[in-house]
Amino acid sequence: MSDLHTDEVMGRGTVYPDDCDHMGHMNVATYVRKFDEATWALWAGVGMTARRMLDGGIGIAAMECTLTYQKELFPGDNFVIRSRIVGRGNKVAKFHHRLYRLEEGDDGLVETLASTCSYTVACLDREAHRATTWPADVAPRVDAILAPLTEDAA
């Protein structure tokens, strides 16, 4: 199985009681918010900052999002989100987040997979509300870090 623990950390945090639902575990809205925060960090790293998008009249529009849950998170749990861009076309890209619960192990902190989130997005012309090509300086930066998922990691 692929080891994705080397992907860059795009988010980290602690679960607070108000992040949880009536069942006592972190709720879906919080997962989505945390993955969205990691998305902004991931894209800023390749030059698609909020300012760049606003000034350039472009954006990133989600077309599809798939979440999976493996382990519950509870108040006080610490976590990290590791992210990678897994594919890029002329106007579309795919990326993948993995949220790991941090647990005490014999040799320090151990990352246990708690949730995944995969996105398909389009580069958006904000005025025309249509997909457009990735900026000429962003596309090669994406390609330089692009790392497709292996079948066992998808």
What pLDDT was estimated at residue 151?
65
Checking if the pLDDT of 153 tops 80, the result is no
Asked whether 15 and 77 are in contact (CB, 8 A), the reply is: yes
Kindly provide the b/e burial profile for residues 99-124, where b requires at least 16 CB atoms within 10 angstroms of the residue's own CB: bbbbeeeeeeeebebbbbbbbbbbbb
| 8-145: CATH number | 3.10.129.10
3-state class of 141 per DSSP? helix
pLDDT of residue 1: 41
- CA torsion 142-12-150-91 (nearest 10°) is -30
pTM: 0.92
Tokens of 9: 């950390």
Find, among 68, 70, 69, 94, the residue nearest to 83 by Cα.
94
Nearest-angstrom CA–CA distance, 123 and 94 = 11
pLDDT at 2 over 60: no
Alpha-carbon gap, residue 110 to 143, rounded angstroms: 30
- Please write the tens of the pLDDT for every residue from 71-118: 999 999 999 999 999 999 999 999 999 999 999 989 888 999 999 999
pLDDT, position 3: 58
Cα distance between residue 67 and residue 98, in whole Å: 10
Residue boundaries of the structural domains of the chain: 8-145
User: What phi and psi, each to the nearest 5 degrees, are found at residue 125?
Assistant: -80, 110
pLDDT one-digit tens code per residue, 35-64: 999 999 999 999 999 999 999 999 999 999
